Amino acid sequence: MAVTRKAIRGEVLKRIRGGITGTATGGTTSTCVVANDVRCDDGGGSILDSTLYEGDYIRFTSGNEDGTIALISDFTANGGTLTLKPTLSNAIANTNTFEIHRRLHPNELDDCISRSLRAMYYVDYYPLSLVSDPDMETSGVSGWTNSNATPTKDTDSADNVDALGGAQSLQVVTSSTNGYSYVATVDVQSESAYSCWVMAKADGAFTASVIAYDQTNSATIDSKTWAHRDWGIVEFGFQTPSNCDQVSIRLGAEETSATVHFDNLIVQRNARHSYELPSWLANPEADIIDVLRYSGTTPFNLTSSSVMDESQLVYSPTAANPSSIILDTGTSGKPIFIKAIRPFLAENGSLSTDATTTDANFEWVVSRAVIHAFKLLRDQAPGSETQEWANLYAQATREARRQNRRWDARAANAGGKKPEVR
């Protein structure tokens, strides 16, 4: 089940004893009032120290100041008033939620979460394809071209194909009949045979359409449709016309205001043997588990045959994406998937917003992020506190190792025959 950065950070905050989460009862542009919460409001009983939260960071997690980070410059325990610096753009309102960070800056905890996910792995089935973003896992749709349609990346579990992994599908909503979206065009050879294979799902009584389009000559080459609410496979072969240099695969719907989904868009040239590997596959020799040709007819009942033994890895030290694989694909036209160990976040990747989700197990990612947080606290602490934080770091490491044994795909898939390297 997908979890948000906000949920992960809130749990890490508790486990490192680094602060609290709460809900405001009101405020201004320079104050946050937390009345009737005994952690902030002692009702005039002189129980809470007036310096309790001074110098801490406050991060708002809902309302008009969602995402804003400020310093707490003063605290009045009678009534629960936190004075903020600098002044905010909007007044804090009743029910606005917040986090108070005592030990680390909130952004440091976000970095701990992202750093953890970059070193956490799962088994993925990546489609080898001539189109970019074939598995729809690239963040956003900035590379897509649209006509009478709005594409988004959908992370809802009902709209993803669990059988082949991945956290996203492409959702296309049309604003007119035959609206469509397509990712960057594919360079092709004219008068050559290609195959197209994609998973599709049509919400309501709509008809999803898949069109192979000749970009050079502005003409449709071939098309297929899918008019079912469950996921299915749309596949067809097509011949590029004379003088055709580029094609696009247009994903859309025949009706207006239609909502359709697509995943694993595969375009292959028949009898082509060399395909670039994805950039996240930084160590193909270690992380490729198998190379599979799928021949099933539905997403959830796929049959496969391994072509691992005939596969060879090739490296180019000058290429932007330096590794590719040579396959003995024959002329079957059936799609090829790489079964591999994949990180939850690519190198230098991050969960960019509090609403951004990950499919990593909640306890696993929290335990890993706690390690990074304790390491920061150990390294930043004065000498008198270093040993205390070192002990907590060691305890957290033991818990993370236990979670790794349960969830880490690298351990579960160690060993096995690998493609030959050239």
Q: Residue 25: is its pLDDT beyond 80?
A: yes
Residue with the larger pLDDT of the pair 415 and 322: 322
Give percent above pLDDT 70 in the chain: 91
Mean per-residue pLDDT of the chain? 90
Higher-confidence residue of 294 and 205: namely 205
Residue 368 has pLDDT above 60, yes or no: yes
Q: Which residue has the higher pLDDT, 59 or 326?
A: 59
177-181, 311-315, 369-373 — which is least confidently predicted? 311-315
Give the 3-state secondary structure of residue 269: strand
Residue 291 predicted with pLDDT over 70: yes
User: What's the whole-number mean pLDDT along residues 315-330?
Assistant: 71
Q: What's residue 297's pLDDT?
A: 73
| Nearby residues of 264 by Cβ (< 8 Å), 6 or more positions away | 127, 134, 135, 136, 161, 164, 166, 197, 198, 199, 335
Asked if the model's pLDDT at residue 163 lies above 90, the reply is no
Mean predicted confidence (pLDDT) in 214-221: 97
Is the pLDDT confidence value at 338 over 50?
A: yes
Q: How far apart are the first and last CA of the chain?
A: 40
Q: Identify the DSSP state of 158.
A: G
Report the alpha-carbon distance of residue 163 to residue 151 in Å, rounded: 23
pLDDT band at 282 (very low <50, low <70, confident <90, very high): confident
Q: How many residues does the chain have?
A: 422
pLDDT for residue 334: 78
Calculate ∠ Cα 407-409-411, nearest 5°. Answer: 95
Name 26's Cβ contacts closer than 8 Å, sequence gap at least 6.
33, 35, 92, 93, 94
Q: DSSP letters of 110-137? A: HHHHHHHHTT-EEEEEEEP-SSSSTTS-
Average the pLDDT over 320-325 and give the result: 75
The answer on pLDDT for 412 being more than 70 is no
Confidence of residue 54 (pLDDT cuts 50, 70, 90): very high
Taking 80 as the threshold, does the pLDDT of residue 29 lie above it?
yes
Q: Sorting pLDDT into bands at 50, 70 and 90, what band is 422?
A: very low
pLDDT class of 320 with cuts at 50, 70, 90: low
Averaged pLDDT for residues 13-27: 96
Q: What are phi and psi of 208, to 5 degrees?
A: -75, 140
Q: Is the pLDDT score of 419 beyond 70?
A: no
Question: Domains in the chain, ordered, with CATH?
Answer: 1-18+103-120+356-422 (no CATH), 19-102 (2.40.10), 123-343 (2.60.120.260)
Q: Which of 142-146, 297-301, 352-356, 364-368 has the lowest mean pLDDT?
A: 297-301
Instruction: Give me the pLDDT at residue 16, please.
Output: 95
CB 31 within 8 A of CB 25: no
Quick one: pLDDT at residue 26?
97
pLDDT at 178: 97
**pLDDT (tens digit per residue) in 91-135:** 999 999 999 999 899 999 999 999 999 999 998 889 999 999 999
Q: What is the mean pLDDT of residues 288-310?
A: 74
Predicted pLDDT of residue 350: 92
Q: What mean pLDDT comes out for the span 49-53?
A: 94
- Rounded to an integer, the average pLDDT of 156-163 is 74
Residue of 336 and 158 predicted with greater confidence? 336
* Residue that wins the pLDDT comparison between 77 and 284: 77
Record the tokens describing residue 414, joined without a space: 């160690």
pLDDT at 62: 97
Q: How much of the chain exceeds pLDDT 90, in percent?
A: 65
Evaluate if residue 271 carries a pLDDT over 70: yes
The pLDDT of residue 161 is 75
